[in-house]
Amino acid sequence: MDNAYRILGVNLNATDEQIKQAYSELSERYRSDAQAIHELNNAYDSVMSERRLNRGTTESSANGGYPYFTSIRHLINANRIEEAEVELQRVPVQGRIAEWHFLMGTVMSRKGWLSEATRYYSNAASMEPGNTEYQQAYSSVVYGRQGQAPGNPYTPYRTSNNNDWLTACIVCNCLSMFCDCCGPRNRCC
């Protein structure tokens, strides 16, 4: 653990705020070095997890001693969805806080089970209404299921517009220029 503090450039007595500031500055400095960022992220996660455990924060006590949601996020980000789901299933019911529901929603979404993802995201968003990450995930899956997500080329239905007849007429006229499909010198429109 001392190595994690050394990587962050702080001592064991540093406050959480000092650790966050050091992490932020180092992230900015080494942003183009993937290996350094990886080590920095691991050190920061390790230090903050240890501190939560030692303090007995509400997250640590609320989730029944399962303060490893960060590692589950890493599994999801590494596309190790099945492993993440197994780890989430190990959390007892009383430890299934909003973060648990959010992560389970993400697992379900990655598996393509959108109705399940919607349910879990909804639970997370209602448990912590001020959490924008949970709210955005819920909105994204709801709008995605309706075909209204930004950039979604698939919509639930196509409405007709007044230019459909014009398009048909132009196509017909173009075709009749190349052949006499509608009879000699006749136009479709």
Question: What is the domain-level CATH number for residue 129?
Answer: 1.25.40.10
Query: In this predicted structure, what is the pLDDT of residue 120?
Result: 95
Residue 23: domain span? 2-55
Task: Tell me whether residue 95 is in a domain.
Answer: yes
Concatenated DSSP letters for 57-102?
-HHHHHTTS---HHHHHHHHHTT-HHHHHHHHHTS-GGG--HHHHH
Mean of the pLDDT values across residues 171-182? 59
Task: Please check whether residues 36 and 93 belong to one and the same domain.
Answer: no
Task: Tell me whether residue 165 is in a domain.
Answer: no
Task: Tell me whether residue 30 is in a domain.
Answer: yes
Task: Tell me whether residue 49 is in a domain.
Answer: yes
pTM: 0.46
Among the residue ranges 69-78, 109-118, 152-161, 177-186, the one predicted with the least confidence is 152-161
Task: Tell me whether residue 63 is in a domain.
Answer: no
Q: Tally the domains of the chain.
A: 2
For residue 103, pLDDT beyond 90: yes
Mean of the pLDDT values across residues 144-168? 50
Among the residue ranges 72-86, 109-123, 155-169, the one predicted with the least confidence is 155-169
Task: Tell me whether residue 103 is in a domain.
Answer: yes
Answer whether 141's CB lies under 8 Å from 135's CB.
Answer: no
